[in-house]
Amino acid sequence: MIQTKNLAFSYSGKVNFNFPDISLESGQVLLITGGSGKGKTTLLHLLGGLLKAQSGSIRIGDTNIESLSDKNLDKFRGKNIGLILQQPHFVEAFSVLENVVLSSWLATGQKAEEKATSLLTELGLADQMTKLTSRLSIGQQQRVSIARALINEPQLLLADEPTSSLDDENAFNVADLLSKLSKEYGAALIIVTHDQRLKDRFSNQITLL
Ligand SMILES: Nc1ncnc2c1ncn2[C@@H]1O[C@H](COP(=O)(O)OP(=O)(O)OP(=O)(O)O)[C@@H](O)[C@H]1O
């Protein structure tokens, strides 16, 4: 489903990374771990096409994303990659439901309101849908991010430290939901984390050194 080969990246020629190859099938989970500053978020942003590698390749399904133009990459990302980033970047003036619907509209031109409602309900947010996202707890916002990432049924789900600010109960809930829903949608799930609770839960891991 996703394969990378010889990925290299550099910030202004000063901080250089050579990343290990990744190969992951639909329905599988991979954790990317490693100490602070080792390039975990950088690698996740490369996989999501938010940064461009200096060299190497990233194949998602049948598409080599490095060969796409910026415009086609945006389209591809919208349809095929669900992103759960450290900062959720919600549209503050929109409700929870509207934020999730916006994601479907941007990717497909369709407002998938029914599907957004059912996803949010599955994520335990049925009674939060009309609220502004800023009125939700961090754990609830994390679940809105998950709904938004899943609304377009992506092939690949990328999550950056999804549990770092959560207590044990919420962290286990988020881990369970990510794993259950990515399987349900047939997505490959890659999680960047230094959270020991996730390391204990998912055995397939690579560590950046
Ligand atoms: N936009 C940027 N410009 C220059 N250097 C950057 C930029 N973003 C990150 N870096 C540097 O690249 C290195 C890797 O950063 P990255 O955020 O990928 O690490 P990380 O493993 O995710 O760290 P952490 O666990 O602390 O979040 C760090 O040394 C960081 O300072």
Q: What is the pLDDT of residues 114-130, one digit of tens each?
A: 999 999 998 889 999 99
CA distances from 105 to 18, 110, 130, 145, 204 (A): 36, 5, 18, 16, 34
The pLDDT of residue 22 is: 97
3 state SS of 57: strand
The pLDDT of residue 170 is: 82
Please state the rounded mean pLDDT for residues 32-36: 94
Distance CA 25, CA 33 (A): 19
Tell which one of 32, 42, 192 to mutate to probe ligand 1, the residue whose CB is within 8 A of the most ligand atoms.
42
52 pLDDT tier (thresholds 50, 70, 90)? very high
Comparing 136 with 108, which gets the higher pLDDT?
136
Please state the rounded mean pLDDT for residues 17-38: 95
The pLDDT of residue 15 is: 87
pLDDT at residue 97 above 90? yes
**Distance from the CA of 198 to the center of ligand 1, in angstroms?**
21
The pLDDT of residue 165 is: 79
Distance CA 18, CA 150 (A): 30
Contacts of 14 (CB under 8 A, 6+ apart): none
Q: Flag the least confident range among 11-25, 38-52, 94-108, 174-188.
A: 174-188
Closest of 146, 187, 158 to residue 44, by C-alpha: 158
- Structural domains of the chain in order of their starting residue, each with its CATH number: 2-208 (3.40.50.300)
Burial of 46 (0-12, 13-18, 19+ CB in 10 A): buried
| Ligand 1 surroundings by CB, under 6 angstroms | 11, 15, 34, 36-42, 194
Please state the rounded mean pLDDT for residues 19-39: 95
Closest ligand 1 atom number to CA of residue 15: 12
pLDDT at residue 184 above 90? no
| Per-residue pLDDT reduced to its tens digit, 141-173 | 989 999 999 999 999 999 999 988 788 988 888
ipTM > 0.90 for the complex: yes
Residue 19 DSSP label: P
3 state SS of 146: helix
Distance CA 131, CA 8 (A): 42
The pLDDT of residue 47 is: 97
Please state the rounded mean pLDDT for residues 134-146: 91
The pLDDT of residue 171 is: 87
The pLDDT of residue 14 is: 85
Distance CA 131, CA 53 (A): 39
The pLDDT of residue 196 is: 94
The pLDDT of residue 138 is: 86
Counting residues of the chain whose pLDDT is more than 90, the rounded percentage is 78
